[in-house]
Amino acid sequence: MPPTTADSSVGPLERGIAVLRALARAPGGRLRPSELVRLTGLARSPVDRIATTLVRLGYLREEDRALALAPPLIELGLAYLRSSGIPGALGPLATALADELDESVSLAVPDGDAVRFVVQTTRRRTLSVAFRTGDALPAERCAPGPLFAADWDEPTYADWLARTRADPYDTGFPAVLPPPAGEGRPGEAEFRARAARARERGWSLDDQLIEPGLVAVAVPVRDGDGRTVSALSVVSHTSRHSARDLRDHALERMLRTAGRMGQALARVGSGPPAAAPRHDRSLDPKQELGPEYLQSLARGLTVMAALGAPGGMTLSAVAGATGLPRATARRSLLTLQRLGYVTTDAGGHRFAPLPRVLDLGYSPLSARSLAELAQPHLAALVSLLRESASIAVLDGEDVRYVARVAAGRIMSVAVTVGTRFPAHATSLGRVLLAGLPPERREEWMRHAALKPLTDRTLTDPDRLTAVVERTASDGYALVDQELEEGLRSIAVPVHGPGGQVAAAVNVSLHAGRTSAEQARETVLPALRAAAGRITADIALTCALQPLTIG
């Protein structure tokens, strides 16, 4: 296809991506519109229109006069990860190696003159690796960098030199600390020599280049043509290994695993997207919001989200998947290609996303825990109902609260994050018990101490079993003053990506204010809607990695 020209470029898409990049680099993924104006150089009017569009798409949320990244934005990064095939094909092998070595293992890909993580399997220790999927590192300061630099052409080296001179403190890499004071950055000759040694040896070391105490060894993962498409790294701390000790401990097993990864990559072929792409969602909002809604921005991001098929997609396939006219899809693809988010095959017929897509908020959003995902939905629910809301998980015989938003009432239920209550006497607990497989539920009933907490507490195992089974059928639990006199609560399940019950969310009510029937009629629908939104966020966040609780 012909190169992008000024006439074929989609300006709102370019400006919208600039806003997303600024938010992705902001602490907490949150900025006020005035800060976005300053950081992007855009006028306030286009920033407001971009914000209106991104909020309507679900990619941003409005929070206390600020704009914040929202989990649906993850679908852009998922398009790259699914298209590359690396997490799905190589992730299980990386996890197995981490278990075998009892060390953190990662997979990275080249991203221009940087290195970007696409798989992280981290050992949880007092001193542990904090990098996230999607984070980028300077090539000269990590173990995979020399492996990738061994294949660089001269323009890439020129870009690297320009970047290191313009940004000597690596401010463009939020995941890393500035280089240690007094230590010079490697010059071109030194880094070329490291790349040559890495090519000759077939491995590369990072001896505290990122930060003091962190050591790593990396080996290449090659495709069928012998190209280094990924780097397998094992990362540790000097309290456990020196760099050379880590190499001696891990290298042989890493090379075997990298060989198996190369074979697995060869089995990743072209095919349909792993998940249904997003069709054009711009028509109704455009009719409703008029000029405040940037249809070309919405359509461009729809195109990016659709590019999840292994091996890339043709223009016709993109147009078909999104429901957009070919000319519209083409302009979006050309713009994304010029900005460095999309590439084409040698013939220019198939389009695929590039690792840079992960820079659009994937790292901070995919690292969010259950508590972080639930918090804004709980806040919205409390704002609607004027009653306190919580989310909890089953922990032995108790429920453990992982997030809570209290209503601003004189009389309210005093519960904080980390509070535990007996599961049998709470609506949260009954929903969580209803979500257990039958054999696990039976075992729980046999061993649980069903103590009375009020005169109403249900303590008979057979009756409790019947109530839990009815909860599973009804899809909610209502508990009336069994935990504490005057306290009534209603709860519904939150599901994980596999459909299992991952948590429960409830609303606490004063028995004197809201009857059981009123709770079913007015509270339950809003509660179910909030749980559905939390479930949707979990599905995106955990599409390629496990859910963390808090």
Which pLDDT does position 4 carry in this prediction?
44
Q: What are phi and psi of 69, to 5 degrees?
A: -60, 140
For 510-519, what is each residue's pLDDT tens digit?
Answer: 888 889 999 9
Q: Indicate the residue among 335, 366, 397 that finishes a domain.
A: 366
Tokens of 104: 């953190």
- For residues 149 and 508, what is the distance between their CA atoms, to the nearest angstrom? 58
Helix 370-385 / helix 524-541 crossing angle, nearest 10 deg? 160
> Do 483 and 339 sit in the same domain of this protein?
no
CATH of the domain at 409: 3.30.450.40
- The answer to whether residues 355 and 280 belong to one domain is yes
Query: What is the H or E stretch that residue 162 is in?
Result: helix 154-166
Q: Does residue 107 lie within any of the structural domains?
A: yes
- pLDDT of the residue at 184: 55
Q: Output the pLDDT for position 498.
A: 86
The pTM assigned to this predicted structure is 0.89
DSSP string of 498-542, one letter each residue: TSSEEEEEEEEEETTT--HHHIIIIIHHHHHHHHHHHHHHHHHHT
- Residues 131 and 262 reside in one and the same domain: yes
Please tell me the predicted confidence (pLDDT) of residue 512. Answer: 82
Predicted pLDDT of residue 311: 84
Would you state the pLDDT for residue 6?
A: 43
Same domain, 69 and 155: no
Whether 103 and 35 map to the same domain: the answer is: no
Does residue 2 form part of some domain?
no
Which pLDDT value is given to residue 255?
97
User: How far from the centroid of its chain's Cα atoms is residue 6's Cα?
Assistant: 34
395 and 382 housed in the same domain: yes
Q: State the residue for tokens 């004197």.
A: 512
Number of domains comprising the chain: 3
Residue 119 belongs to domain spanning: 86-266
Please provide residue 47's backbone torsions phi and psi, each rounded to the nearest 5 degrees. -60, -45
* Residue 385 and residue 358 in one domain: no
Type of residue at 61: R
Per-residue confidence (pLDDT) for residue 19, from 0 to 100: 98
Query: In the prediction, which pLDDT does 547 show?
Result: 86
The predicted pLDDT at position 402 comes to: 96
Final residue of a structural domain among 318, 336, 366:
366
The helix-helix angle for 315-322 and 326-338 (nearest 10°) equals 110
Give me the sheet containing 477-480, strands edge to edge.
420-422, 398-405, 389-395, 501-510, 487-495, 477-480
Give, as one character, the DSSP assignment of residue 18: H
On whether both 112 and 248 belong to a single domain, the answer is yes
Q: What is the pLDDT of residue 412?
A: 54
- What was the pLDDT predicted at 225? 86
Low-confidence ranges of the chain (pLDDT < 70): 1-9, 124-130, 180-185, 269-279, 281-283, 409-414
Output DSSP code: residue 179: P
**Which residue from 412, 385, 386, 320 is spatially nearest to 528, judged by alpha carbons?**
385
pLDDT tens, 9-48? 689 999 999 999 999 999 999 999 999 999 999 999 999 9
